[in-house]
Every structure is written in structure tokens, then in C-alpha cells.
Amino acid sequence: MSFHFEVLKTQGRARAGVFHTPHGPIPTPVFAPVGTQATVKAVMPRDLKEIGASLVLSNTYHLHLRPGEDIVAEMGGLHEFMAWPGPILTDSGGFQVFSLAKISKIDDDGVTFRSHIDGSQRRFTPEISMRIQQKLGADIIMAFDQCPTPTDRAVVEAAVARTSAWALRCREAHPDDSRQALFGIVQGGIFEDLRARSAQDLLKIDFPGFAIGGLAVGETKQAMYDTLDFTVPMLPENKPRYLMGVGVPDDMAQAVLRGVDVFDCVMPTRIARHGAAFTPDGTLNMKNLALARDEQPVDATCDCYCCQNFSRAYLRHLVKANEILAHMLLSLHNIRFLIRHAENMRRAILEGSLDAYVASFLQRYLQPA
């Protein structure tokens, strides 16, 4: 069996496991950096490997528009194209169509939209999303879903029905998980009964993993945690659980406590490009004048190349001077910070000390000195 999820240890609802894929094992909990356009912004693949990345995400919507899935396929698929030999996950394109593109028409069959790059008219259906993702060749592919604002009940209810129907069509268009594992996406916003309905619909279809979609899209943190409290237990114990789009340190900790295994987020590279760094004491704005003569590394607890070699004063200089190296070093550090955070939680689960780790982490992270 090329895909196989092993739970090694649990503590409360939290689990430490391994998801085996054709391109290698993914130890969980795991943070997956995002390579929207077949590159994690400002990070070389060999450096991603060095900082412990096991799973990298890429975006179907962006790659469909540019360079196109046919070119990626001709170049040997996404692993070869972007020189990332490890596991890759592609999303379905649904989230980006609804957030980035100008939608011309949406109905039960699919979505017609205009490219945000050149305005050309395009169409996504569950079948088209599957075909694109098959050509891209990622290890984990996602069902085409509709992700609405999570707090408007009528809209969410309609999206649940559509997502269930589309999930079935995705399964039919991709019946064989031996080379690419198709994950279903549970919608339902912040409503327990709608999450239950969505989960029941998806469980009837056989998926090797389940994502929780429609969170971290504007609701409060507490609403997200509450939703995880009732949604995670609806999912099977023996399949990986992926919380889409979440990747700030405190949310990751809260979600691991609630049984989530997989995370992805653009946050570490995005805030890097704005000159900010994750630290155990919260986010540090590298433009601060107070850092102009600060000889300390960005994060004294960190083992990355940035923190092992450069001072805050130097990083501040690079950010102020708008140098690309600032993006490179801060992206590397911020991703390493989240990967290390996931590694630390995994180790804590294996040692039975997760509650203590999370309490200590959150106390320091949420109450900066």
C-alpha cells in the first residue's frame, strides 16, 4: 500500500504519527510550507530540506494559469519541475477561484471565472480539478470544494451540499489512490450540525485522508477552536486530518491538542516579505529602531542558518535596504520556526508531555516580554 497512516502515540486527542507516501514519510504533526507557483517563495528546495520540511504544498489554480499543467507534466511532473523530491500536496483550486478570480458563473456543475493574471475565461469542475491535479502529479490531491464565509448559515448549508456532491464526482474521476491519494474536505462553517452532515457525507465516500476546510477565513480564534472541538471527533481515527490554511504558532498548538495532524500556511513567507519574524516571544518587526545595534540572532533558540549566522542588526539593515536576502533569511527562519514547533509537539506527544509544552509555549508566545 503506497499510502498508509500510522498513529504511533496519542495524548488526549493529540496524535503523533507517520503518513507514508510514494515520495517518503511525513511525520505528523507536520507543518507544510506553501509553494504557490511551484516555489516556496525565496527558499531553495535544498534549504527546505535542510530545515526539515517533509511536505510542500502547491496551488492548482496558479499552476493551471501559469505555466499550465501540460507543461508541468511534460517536464516530468511537479516533483521534477520544482526539484522537490519529497511529498507534495496540491489543493483543488477551489479556494483560489473563490478568493482571487472574478467569477462569471457558478452552478452545481462548476465555476466559470476569469484569470487574475490575464482575464482569460476558464472553467473548473470537480472533473477538471482532478485532471489538472493528476497531470501535476502531487502525492496528495484535494477534492474540489466550495469554501464560503463560515458564519452565514444559509450560504454554508448550500456549500456543504455542493461540496458533498462535488466530492463524490472527484472520487469517481479519481477512483485509484495508489499513486495519488485524494483527500475529502469537510465544510460546514462554525455550525456543528452542518459539520456533522458534511462529515457523514464524506465518510460514505472512501478517502485516505480528510481536511477541515472553511476555517481561518475570518472567524474568531475561539470560534475556530470550538469548531475543531466538535469537528475532529467526527473524523476517523486511522486517517490523517489536515486543517487547511492554518499556520500561526498558537493556532497550530490549539489544533494539535484537538487532534489535527497536518497544517499549511503562507504566513511564514508572507510576513518575512514584510520584515517580520516568528520568535518564542511573539512576532518581531525587524524594522524596529531598537534592533539597529542588536547583536542577538532573530531567535536565540533556533538552529536555522539565519539565526546561526546573522544578527538582528544585520537583518534590520537588509529589511530597511529592501534587500532580497532579507526575504530569504526571514522566510527560512519563519518556516523553520513552524517546522520546529511541529517537531517539538510531536516529540512531546511521544513523551506524554504535550500539555506542558503547549502551556509553556503559549504563555511565552502570547505574552511578549
Interface positions with a second copy (CB under 8 A): 37-39, 41-46, 66-67, 71, 74-76, 81-83, 292-293, 295, 305, 309-311, 313-314, 316-318, 320-321, 323-325, 327-329
CB crowding 240-279: b at 16 or more within 10 Å, else e: bbbbbbbbbbebbbbbbbbbbbbbbbbbbbebbbebbbbb
Which one is catalytic: 91, 177, 201, 251?
91
Q: Residue type for 194, please?
A: L
Do the Cβ atoms of 307 and 285 come closer than 8 Å?
A: no
Nearer to a second copy, 241 or 336 (CB): 336
- In DSSP terms, 141 is beta-bridged to 90, 182
C-alpha to C-alpha distances, 240 to 82, 91, 209, nearest whole angstrom: 25, 16, 5
Which one is catalytic: 139, 145, 264, 299?
264
C-alpha to C-alpha distances, 335 to 140, 263, 316, nearest whole angstrom: 21, 12, 19
Instruction: Label residue 155 exposed, middle or buried (CB < 10 Å: 0-12, 13-18, 19+).
Output: middle
| Minimum CB distance to a second copy, residue 308 (Å) | 9
| Minimum CB distance to a second copy, residue 305 (Å) | 7
**Which SS3 state, helix, strand or coil, does residue 186 take?**
strand
Nearer to a second copy, 66 or 274 (CB): 66
| Minimum CB distance to a second copy, residue 227 (Å) | 34
Question: 3-state SS of 275-332?
Answer: CEEEECCEEEECCCHHHCCCCCCCCCCCCCHHHHHCCHHHHHHHHHCCCHHHHHHHHH
Please choose, from the candidates 268, 250, 240, 273, the residue with its C-alpha nearest in 3D space to the C-alpha of residue 33.
Answer: 268
Nearer to a second copy, 44 or 356 (CB): 44
Nearer to a second copy, 146 or 269 (CB): 269
User: CA quadruple 38, 44, 50, 51: dihedral positive or negative?
Assistant: negative
| Minimum CB distance to a second copy, residue 133 (Å) | 18
Please indicate whether residue 91 is annotated as part of the active site: yes
Nearer to a second copy, 85 or 352 (CB): 85
Please indicate whether residue 251 is annotated as part of the active site: no
Nearer to a second copy, 76 or 236 (CB): 76
| Minimum CB distance to a second copy, residue 92 (Å) | 20
| Minimum CB distance to a second copy, residue 83 (Å) | 4
List the catalytic residues. 91, 264
